[in-house]
């Protein structure tokens, strides 16, 4: 997949929490940075009208159920049909890393045991 400059990518890159995350986690590898950014673009599009910045506050204030959000995001990725299961798993890992970087506690066992999670092989 080519990494083009797009308005969506620019929009995500302007978000302060995304900038801090990418600077920290993409420091050693440009490929990692690109993969994380690509995942964040998909996540940001999925979240509209919220974005990758406002969802952090919503999760931390317990206004958004993070486990349902992640499950719905994964289902959204799979439904796109142009994303392979492996790419969906990479995106999910990147988003979980982004959330954890910003002090969102994710309990892996709790996420895997959610009845709505149909993609346990990816978790």
pTM reported for the whole predicted model? 0.84
Task: For the chain, 123 residues long, give each residue's pLDDT as a single digit of tens.
Answer: 444 578 889 999 999 999 999 999 878 898 999 999 999 999 999 999 999 999 999 999 999 999 999 999 988 988 887 888 888 889 999 999 999 999 999 988 876 655 444 444 444
Q: Could you tell me the residue ranges of all domains in the chain?
A: 7-122
Structural tokens at position 111: 């996420």
**Helix locations, 26-84, DSSP H:** 30-47, 54-60, 66-79
User: What gap in Å lies between CA 17 and CA 1, rounded to an integer?
Assistant: 25
């Amino acid at each position: 997949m080519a990494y083009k400059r797009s308005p969506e990518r620019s929009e995500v890159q302007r978000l302060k929490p995304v900038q801090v995350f990418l600077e920290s986690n993409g420091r050693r590898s440009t490929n990692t940075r690109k993969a994380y950014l690509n995942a964040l673009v998909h996540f940001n599009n999925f979240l509209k009208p919220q974005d990758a910045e406002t969802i952090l506050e919503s999760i931390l204030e317990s206004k958004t159920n993070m486990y349902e959000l992640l499950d719905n995001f994964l289902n959204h990725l799979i439904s796109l049909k142009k994303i392979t299961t492996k790419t969906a798993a990479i995106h999910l890992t990147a988003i979980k890393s982004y959330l954890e970087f910003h002090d969102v506690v994710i309990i892996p066992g709790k996420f895997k045991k959610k009845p709505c999670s149909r993609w346990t092989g990816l978790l």
